[in-house]
Structure 1
Amino acid sequence: MKPRHRRLALVAAGLTLASAGVTLALGAFRSNLVFFVTPTQIAAGQAERGALLRVGGLVQPGSIARDAAAEGLKVRFVLADGPHTLPVVFEGVLPDLFSAGRGAIAQGRIDASGTLVATEVLAKHDENYMPPGVHAPDAGQAGAR
């Protein structure tokens, strides 16, 4: 084989391996992709039943109920984004910032009854969040110094 043909074969093999690697990486990315939806989009039928979803909304006041039989780890609550609500069931430890009336994101699958069976719950905080033990200076006192 001539050196010119050998170089051409090496370049072709390299391009084939690179394209195979990119295809595998994109396939892995696509299988781990989770879409963020709201209860309104779910009510409108814009989310597939059984698909892995991240649903965001506000935790409805008075909707948090702990299951006594599961030693307090099974929690039911309702996420709302205005006119539509979605019941959620989660078994595990909730984040410290999780509470009624605050934002939360639940990741899981919607079962046949229309309930989101969550595998993970994330609590959202507002833009004024301060870590526990740290106090923001009072705006009125800041100018007096």
Structure 2
Amino acid sequence: MGNYLAGHAFQYLSKRDVYDIEKKLLMRPFFEKMDMHEKTNHRYKMIEECKHAIFIFGKSPSKIDEKIDSKGVFEEYKIAKSLKKNIIAIPATGYAAEKIFAEQKKNIVEYPYLEMYLTALEKEKNPEKISKIVIEILKDCVSD
């Protein structure tokens, strides 16, 4: 999933003549042989380098008909929260992202930058419109 999204993000930045893409887009793949401690450290380092964390999907590898939320995504959310990052969860993608959004909505005072976008994020299903909402949230976060 990460490569698919990174490709679109790369294309978006390229069209806008952004040449220092590595300063705007951070990719940190996980290696197969990492133990739990190494994965936690990897997550922490990855999130520490970012200003914002956007959560989409969050499904553990399982059978197609099984819906198992990713424990790793929940851990990344907790890390991002502890590091006081701007967190945006996309509930339309389901899985862990939907649960993270529900937690944010319940505790909106901790996420003031989301307040005016909650309804739009919750109701919107169109990926292009969701992208525009996220961009607006990020612009608001940067201008603060």
TM-score by length of 1: 0.25
User: Could you say which structure has the higher helix fraction?
Assistant: 2
- Higher Rg: 1
